[in-house]
Amino acid sequence: MRRIILKPGEQFTNSHLKRTGAFNAAALTAATAIVEGVRERGDEALRAYTEQFDGVRVEDFRVSQAAIAEAIVNVNDKTAAALRQAAVQIRDFHERQKQQSWFTVREDGALVGSKVEPLESVGIYVPGGRALYPSSVLMNALPAAVAGVKRIVCVTPPTADGTLDPAILEACRISGVTEIYAVGGAQAIAALAYGTESIAPVAKITGPGNAYVAAAKKVVSGDVGIDMIAGPSEVCVVADSTADPALVAIDLMAQAEHDPLAACYLVTFDAEYADEVERMVERHLQTSTRAEITAASLADQGLIVVCDSMPQAIEAVNVIAPEHLELHVDHAFDLLGAIRNAGAIFLGAWTPEAVGDYAAGPNHTLPTGGTARYASPLSVDEFVKKSSVIQYSSQALVRDADMVMTIARHEGLWAHAMSVEMRKNLLATGNVYGMEAGGREGGDGAGRAGSGNADA
- Identify residue 340 by its one-letter amino acid code: R
Measure Cα distances from 78 to 81, 83, 176, 352, 353 in Å: 5, 9, 20, 21, 22
Instruction: For 10, list phi and psi in degrees, rounded to 5.
Output: -75, 140
| Other beta carbons less than 10 A from residue 451's beta carbon | 9
Q: Say how far apart CA 349 and CA 354 lie, in whole Å.
A: 13
- Is 182:147 a contact under the CB 8 Å cutoff? no
**CA distance linking residue 267 with residue 327, whole number of Å:** 10
Residue 241's Cβ-count burial label (10 Å; 0-12, 13-18, 19+) is: exposed
Burial state string for 379-404 with b = 16 or more CB within 10 A and e = fewer than 16: bbebbbbeeeeeebeeebbbbebeeb
**What's the DSSP call for residue 221?**
B
Q: Could you say which of 324, 328, 353, 382 is catalytic?
A: 324
Main-chain dihedrals φ then ψ at residue 374, nearest 5 degrees: -140, -10
Q: Which residues of 273-311 are buried (b: 16+ CB within 10 A; e: fewer)?
A: bbebbbebbeebbeebeeeebbbbbbeebbbbbbbeebe
Q: Could you confirm whether 179 is annotated as catalytic? A: no
Provide the annotated binding site for Zn(2+): 255, 258, 357, 416
Q: For residue 405, give the nearest of 441, 435, 445 by alpha carbon.
A: 445
CB distance 433 to 425 below 8 Å: yes
- H-state helical runs in 286-340: 291-301, 310-320
Task: Name the DSSP letter for residue 224.
Answer: B
Gyration radius of the chain over CA positions: 28
CB neighbours of 145 closer than 8 A, spacing ≥ 6? 91, 152, 175, 176
Pick out the residues of the known binding site: 125, 187, 210, 233, 255, 258, 324, 357, 411, 416
- In one-letter notation, the amino acid at residue 342 is A
In which element (H, E) is residue 80 found?
helix 77-95
Is-catalytic flag, 364?
no
Give the residue from 121, 295, 115, 255 showing the smallest Cα distance to 200: 121
Q: Which residues are known catalytic residues?
A: 323-324
